Amino acid sequence: MLFALTLDINKNNNFMRILGITIPNDKHLDIALTSIYGIGVSRARKILKEANVDKDLKSDSLNIDQENEIRKIVENLVVEGSLKREISSNIKRLKDIKVYRGIRHSHRLPVRGQRTKTNSRTVRGNVRRTMSSGRRKTEKT
């Protein structure tokens, strides 16, 4: 039995890339742009409105001019690596000057006033510490 490998020549594998991030082809543009760190849905819609591009289009249906217009707007924003560096430097500054928020960051506790008796699993990790009787179990010899 022979299997023939056929290539679909009409299928274009052009992926839209902005700042080294591949924008998914199967999602609407306002959602697809959120794959870039620092761009949410509302910011993506502002970008598309400024570029005069319909938000319901998908990235593979854009022409080159529209892609370049979106790329030019996004490159002027603080996103991806520069945004991550800015956030980490802000946290490092808070730790260095030893303010309350910096101490909370360094102890890996919730920073914004959340309760810690319960519901602080996100920052601390899923650690469940419970009280035991205090007695150590003796080993059988």
CA nearest neighbour of 43 among 70, 13, 16, 81: 70
> Which domains does the chain possess?
16-75 (1.10.8.50), 80-113 (no CATH)
- C-beta separation of 35 from 21 below 8 A: yes
Count of helix runs (H) and strand runs (E) in the chain: 6, 2
- 139 pLDDT more than 90: no
Q: Using one digit for the tens of pLDDT, what is the confidence trace for 1-51?
A: 445 444 444 445 578 889 889 999 999 999 999 999 999 999 999 999 999
- 109 pLDDT more than 60: yes
Tally the residues of the chain.
Answer: 141
Q: Using one digit for the tens of pLDDT, what is the confidence trace for 59-71?
A: 888 899 999 999 9
Average pLDDT over residues 104-130: 80
- The H or E element containing residue 18 is strand 16-18
Which tops the pLDDT comparison, 55 or 3? 55
